[in-house]
Amino acid sequence: MLVDTAVWAWIGALAMGAGTIPPLRAWVSRSSEADESHAVYYGTLAGVTGIAAIAYLLMALGFGTVSLSAGELDVARYVDWLLTTPLLLFYLGLLARPSRRVLAGLIGVDVVIIAGGIAAAATTGTVSWVAFGVAGAAYVALVYGLLVSLPRSASAEGDRVRAVFGTLRNITVVLWTLYPVVWLLAPTGFGLLTPATEMLVFVYLDVVSKVGFVVVAVAGADALDRLGADSGLDGGDEFIAADSGSEEQTTVLGDD
């Protein structure tokens, strides 16, 4: 065992807390410099790392874990994922602006993935593997949605927006694909990793996929200006319906 799981949890809490600073600072700075504060964008980013920081703090303090016949279930971790992964997808939706149906579908599939992961971790034997299989099938659908449906249903907002969207989308797809691999290697699967190593790897993946996502998004905040005053939910005009019959006006985002 490299170090105790609590140490990795503390590292995760500190990293997530640090990752919450850039969007909050950008939010405050933006509000003082321009009329468009992009509060929804920065609030969403701060929510991702802020919620994760609280979850890791609970795990570091020894809370948020329940003992089941299948083993220890990190409830705080799964609640974190249940809340933060939809926020990450929501941010991608704010950039790409798909129809409500497409974005709701992606978030719904994401919830199925996390719920399947919880069921797989909380059970044993065939039931556990069936739940893992359901979550895996849902993940394939989510990847398809991120790579195909979301870009194709989005409106064109310029090269800069497409570049930021593509980078964030690719970070999400690549890193999220590693989570089920870790699940299989961890005590929840074949038991090839110790609990401490499992925590180490999950902390690393969470930090890169969340803090990394937030840092890249804040660094690409100039793309928000390209979205204009009617962008996202700020103006109350939410998402443009991509399937409104104007197929020729849509542009594939993130494929630059």
The pLDDT score that the predictor gives to residue 153 is 59
Query: Percentage of residues in the chain with pLDDT exceeding 70?
Result: 82
Of 17-21, 99-103, 108-112, 221-225, the range with the lowest mean pLDDT is 221-225
- State pLDDT tens for residues 60-80: 998 888 888 878 888 999 999
> Whole-prediction pTM value?
0.85
Pick from 198, 203, 204: nearest CA to 183: 198
Q: Choose between 229 and 39: higher pLDDT.
A: 39
Q: Choose between 256 and 103: higher pLDDT.
A: 103
* Residue matched to tokens 């974005």: 103
- State pLDDT tens for residues 229-248: 444 444 344 444 334 444 43
The pLDDT score that the predictor gives to residue 141 is 96
- State pLDDT tens for residues 162-216: 888 999 999 999 999 999 999 999 988 898 988 889 999 999 999 999 999 999 9
The pLDDT score that the predictor gives to residue 181 is 94
pLDDT band at 36 (very low <50, low <70, confident <90, very high): low
